[in-house]
Amino acid sequence: MLELRQITRAYELGGERAGVFAVSLEVPKGCLAVLAGPSGSGKTTLLQLAGLLDVPDEGEVRLDGEAVSALSEKARCDLRLRKLGFVFQAFNLVPVLSALENVMLPLQLQGVTDEEARRRAGSALERVGLADRRHHRPDQLSGGQQQRAAIARALAPDPLLVLADEPTASLDHAHGGPLMDLMAELAQERGVTFLVASHDPSVISRAHRVFRLRDGKLIGEEVAR
């Protein structure tokens, strides 16, 4: 489903060379994969490259068998809109929109009618247990609820791949665990592929596959039994 081939992306950070170097990995469909490693190991950089938010210096990103990292900016935008979903550490909902409107947004950007977008967004919110909070603005939701809304927004357009950057970092243990359970269920039920960057053991413990990174290099891969 997702394949990274010899990906390198280097940049200067505090006078030192940082980034990811010659990383290759493969995530099959319906898998909850985790990029694990300490801060500065290159998890977020790799996630951004896999999510087509950045372009590698070398190597190739393949999605569903197609090389996508060298596509034009416009084509990558279009691909992100139609095939990818994102969940960020700081929730990052659009503050002026309600939970429902936030989830409707990517659908409306795809050109889905308001009525259909409302139906699909409502259904996504229901799936993450936020049906009764759909008309609340982000500042009226708790951290866990905001992250659930962000997952609903990522899932509503039926993406092939959802990329999540430290999704539990801003949540306490009581909220983080159930959120990861939800992702694991979605991966199993709907065949959605998740690539999660995290160093949270509760996230790693729920993963189907773990890629361990250190200093921008892949140092190990574990597959859950």
Partner 1 sequence: MILARLALRNLMRQRRRTALTLMVVVAGFLALSLAGGFMAQTFQGLADAAIRGGLGHLQVMPKDSMEGDEAQSLEKALPDGEALAARLREDPAVMEVLPRIQFMGLLSSGAKSVAFLGTAVNPVLEPRFMACTEALKGGIQASGGTGSQWLSADSAAREVILGVGLARALGATVGSSLTLMSTTRDGALNAVDVEVAGLQDLGLRELNDRFLTVSLATADQLLDAGAARSRLSVVLRRPEHTAAEQARLQVLLPETFVKPWFELASFYRQVKLLYFAIFGFMGLVLFLVVLLATANTLLMSVMERVREFGILRAMGLQPGQLLFLLQWEGALLGLMGSVLGLAATLLLRTGLNVLHLQMPAPPGTSHGYELNIHFVPGVYALVAVGLQMTIQVSALFPGLKAARLRIVEALRHV
Nearest to 200 by CA among 53, 82, 36, 59: 36
Q: Which stretch binds partner 1 (CB under 8 A): 83-91, 173-181, 191-199, 203-211?
A: 83-91
Collapsing DSSP states into helix, strand and coil, what is residue 26?
strand
Nearest approach in angstroms of CB 222 to partner 1 is 28
Q: Which stretch binds partner 1 (CB under 8 A): 16-24, 26-34, 70-78, 209-217?
A: 70-78
Instruction: Candidates 71, 81, 169, 204: give the one binding partner 1 (CB under 8 A).
Output: 81
Nearest approach in angstroms of CB 220 to partner 1 is 26
105 binds partner 1 (CB under 8 A): yes
Q: Which stretch binds partner 1 (CB under 8 A): 24-32, 48-56, 62-70, 206-214?
A: 48-56
Place of tokens 């393949």: 62
Strand partners, 33: 195, 209
Running DSSP on this structure, what letter comes out for residue 135?
T
Place of tokens 């500042």: 139
134 binds partner 1 (CB under 8 A): no
18 binds partner 1 (CB under 8 A): no
CA dist 96 and 98 (Å) reads 7
160 binds partner 1 (CB under 8 A): no
Nearest approach in angstroms of CB 174 to partner 1 is 26
Place of tokens 């909850």: 32
- The answer to whether 134 and 98 have CB atoms below 8 angstroms apart is yes
